[in-house]
Amino acid sequence: MKFDELDAKMRVFETAHDHCVLPGIYMVARLDGRSFTKLTKEKLVFERPFDRRFRDAMVSTVEHLMNCGFKVIYGFTESDEISLLFDFDENAFGRKIRKVNTILAGEASAHFSLKLHSHCVFDSRICQLPNKNLVVDYFRWRNEDAHRNALNAYCYWMLRDQGVDARTATAEFSKKSVVSKNEFLFQNGVNFNDLPQWQKRGVGLYFEEFLKDAENPLTGEKVQAKRRRLKVEYDLPMKDEYSSFIESFLN
């Protein structure tokens, strides 16, 4: 069998289930760290419940993903996860889900591993959202999840610092209300409302335009040129304000 014939024969098995995101559908990629609980509790030493070195490595990874060949207009990270909102007209690799997922997971894993000098792995999945409202709902969901995770983490590590074992600390607040958790922290000297917003709401990244002093190469005239830079927002708005914030990125 000639190579061209063999190549055509075998490509069918590789691409038979090569699904693509249809045009007119918003794409959001969500990446999660694989076995990051073991990474942060056993392999590496971090502050509890939040560590700026870990946060900065996650932010750096989002920055990398927003500049690695895809047109990503908004990035969000909280805990060990990343969400990326693609431009509505993004058509890289024909919107093939397999290609997008494997490239993003590989880029994130490599970059994050280099930042922390340890073997770290991310997985990736694509959310296909048919309208703007669902895009807003998606990011509201992850924003609220960051708040829930932060509250639980502070309660958990407060108990651990008091000598409570991991299983008991996990079970202690599993069915407690938000009010009860806040009161527990307050009684132990922590006002949850006063904690840094990035811990409670995550971090957002987006491109912004700015003016930069420049010189016309032909005339030597001093001018101002428009440039684009990536902005990292550590103080994201909440609730309806956050919804409006996300809507500003949508066509």
- Contact criterion met (CB below 8 Å) for 33 and 122: yes
- pTM higher than 0.75: yes
Distance CA 45, CA 51 (A): 10
User: Is 4 inside any structural domain?
Assistant: no
Distance CA 61, CA 70 (A): 14
Residue 30 DSSP class: E
β-pair partners for 211: 226
For range 110-115, the mean pLDDT: 98
Length of the chain: 251
| The pLDDT value given to residue 246 | 98
Domain containing residue 100: 17-201
| The pLDDT value given to residue 15 | 67
Residue 44 DSSP class: S
Tokens of 27: 């794409």
User: Is 43 inside any structural domain?
Assistant: yes
What is the tens place of the pLDDT at every residue in 20-50?
999 999 999 999 999 998 888 888 889 999 9
Tokens of 123: 């997985």
| The pLDDT value given to residue 16 | 64
Q: Is the pLDDT of residue 88 over 80?
A: yes
Distance CA 133, CA 110 (A): 33
For range 229-237, the mean pLDDT: 96
User: Is 247 inside any structural domain?
Assistant: no
Domain count, the chain: 1
Distance CA 149, CA 173 (A): 12
Residue 205 main-chain phi, psi, to 5 deg: -135, 135
Distance CA 162, CA 103 (A): 43
SS3 call for 218? coil
| The pLDDT value given to residue 37 | 85
β-pair partners for 226: 211
User: Is 76 inside any structural domain?
Assistant: yes
User: Is 231 inside any structural domain?
Assistant: no
User: Is 207 inside any structural domain?
Assistant: no
Tokens of 62: 């989002």
User: Is 245 inside any structural domain?
Assistant: no
- Contact criterion met (CB below 8 Å) for 214 and 225: yes
User: Is 51 inside any structural domain?
Assistant: yes
Tokens of 77: 């990270």
Q: Is the pLDDT of residue 189 over 90?
A: yes
CATH code: domain of residue 122: 3.30.70.3000
Tokens of 9: 């024969």
Tell me the average pLDDT of the chain: 93
